[in-house]
Amino acid sequence: MTSPQPSTHPTKRAVVTGASSGIGAATVRALRAEGWDVVALARREERLRALAEETGCEWVVGDVLSDESVAAAVASITAGGRVDVLVNNAGGALGLEPIDGADLGKWSAMYELNVVGTYRMTQALLPALRETAGSIVFITSTAAHEPYEGGAGYVAAKYGERVAARTLRLELVGEPLRVIEIAPGMVHTEEFSLVRFDGDQERADGVYANVDRPLLAEDIAEAVRWTVTLPAHVNIDSLVVRPVAQGGSTKVHKGSLGFQD
C-alpha cells in the first residue's frame, strides 16, 4: 500500500469586501467552510477581529472609497499570498424618496460606493487575479435589472455597477478570468434596510414584515460559493436570486406561502 501524496494544488484564496456583516460575512463563512483561505476586508476592525476568531479568516481594514486605503490593503493582501477570487460585496442603498424630493447628495454617495469603490478595488487587484486566472464576483442587485419607485438613485448606481462588469468581461475576453454578477432580490440582513432608512429600525423591519422567508445572507453566500467552485471554463455571467415570495421589484407577496419543509 502506498502512502497518500500531498496535494499539488495550492489552497484557493479569496478577498471579500464589505465583510463585516451581512452577505460579506456570510460569504467569508461559506468559503472558509469550503476550505479556502479568505481575506475579509471592511472598515470596522472590531467586527473583522470577531469574524476572524470565529472562522480563522485573515482580515484587513480597508475603505473602498479611498485610493490610499485600497492601495495599502491590496499591498498587505498580495504580500500575504495569491488571490484567486475577489468578491465585490461592499455597497448599499441610501433613502427611498421619489426623484422629485430626492437627496442628490445620497445619489452621489451611492455611486461612489457601489460603482467607483467597486472598480477601485477591482482595478487594484486585477494584476494579482491575472496571475491565478482568477474570478471577479460583483454582488449587484435586482435593482440593477429593473427599476422601482423611490429607488432611482440606487437603481442607477447598481445598473452602473452591472454594466461596468459587462464591459470588463468584454475587455478580458482572451484571458482566462471569470467575471460573475450575482443580483440578489429581497435579502433580510441586519443592516441593509437600517442603513437605507438612517437607522429607523421600525421602518427597516417593515420592509420584511409578513414576507414568508425572504432570502438570507447565507443564500447569497451559497450562490457565490457555487459560482466560484465551478470548473474554470464555466462563467456564470449573471445570476438573479429572489425569494419565492418576490415576483419582481414591485411585486411581493405578504402572508404565508405554505412551505412544507
Active site residues: 154
Q: Rounded CA gap, 249 and 43, in Å?
A: 30
Nearest of 192, 257, 254 to residue 220 by alpha carbon: 192
**If 0-12 CB within 10 Å is exposed, 13-18 middle and 19+ buried, where does residue 250 land?**
exposed
User: Which ranges of 56-183 would DSSP assign to H, the alpha helix?
Assistant: 67-79, 104-111, 118-132, 152-171
Nearest of 8, 62, 30 to residue 224 by alpha carbon: 30
Q: Rounded CA gap, 19 and 47, in Å?
A: 9
H/E stretch holding 238: strand 238-241
For residue 167, which phi and psi values (nearest 5 degrees)? Answer: -65, -45
Q: Rounded CA gap, 166 and 170, in Å?
A: 6
Q: What does DSSP say about strands 135-139 and 178-184: parallel, antiparallel, or unpaired?
A: parallel
How many CB atoms lie under 10 A from the CB of residue 261? 2
Helix (H, G, I), strand (E, B) or coil at 204: helix
